[in-house]
Amino acid sequence: MAVRPITIIGHKALHQPTKKVREITDEVRTLVADMYDTMDAANGVGLAANQVGVRQRIFVYDVPGEEDGVADQRGVVINPVLEKGPVPPGEPDPEDGSEGCLSVPGEHFPTARADWARVTGTDLDGNEVVIEGTGLLARALQHETDHLDGKLYVERLTPTLRREAREAVKDRGWEAARLTKWDPATQKAEKV
């Protein structure tokens, strides 16, 4: 398959809700295979379709087990529906709550998330899938579903951290250079 360029914060595809997948076609199967290749090349734990410029409600994930005896979790969810526990009030713990994003490469900020989440959807064969977890898996499920709803994690930051994130994006020069994608295979950003 292929590694696709990943959209960078500011690209319109990241700020629009995605569309429900009505039918599993060969194009959808190719997209999912490319998404796995792209996520792996970028060393990510998840990737939503709109991060590669496709407005379909699909994400892939590859979350390492956090404890001994907990297996790695890898898969695809088509048309996910998210349920989650309460988000703790106040400032997120910088040690436990640091979050990054392939569409905001190189940056990590403490992000408040529920410690439990469940996503239901389907796989590539149309079978129902239910993915449920805590910790990093719960964070990934919420993060990827946010992408499909047109939200980036930096929009969930506290006002102070959101300001820091805006400054980090500005310091990287993405807006000034009009860069909108980066290629994980070459590690180079490009204009569209």
Could you read off the pLDDT of 30-62 as tens digits, one per residue?
999 999 999 999 999 999 999 999 999 999 999
More confident of the two residues 142 and 95: 142
The Cα-based distances of 71 to 129, 133, 174 in angstroms read: 17, 12, 37
Decide: residue 124, CB within 10 A, 0-12 exposed, 13-18 middle, 19+ buried.
middle
> Binding site for Fe cation, residues?
101, 143, 147
pLDDT of residue 63: 95
How many Cβ atoms from other residues are within 10 Å of residue 34's Cβ?
A: 19
Running DSSP on this structure, what letter comes out for residue 88? P
Task: Please confirm, yes or no, whether 144 is among the known catalytic residues.
Answer: yes
- Catalytic choice (107, 144, 155, 175): 144
**CATH code linked to domain 6-99+106-187:** 3.90.45.10
> Binding site, residues?
101, 143, 147
**What gap in Å lies between CA 148 and CA 1, rounded to an integer?**
23
pLDDT of residue 70: 64
Integer Rg of the chain from CA: 16
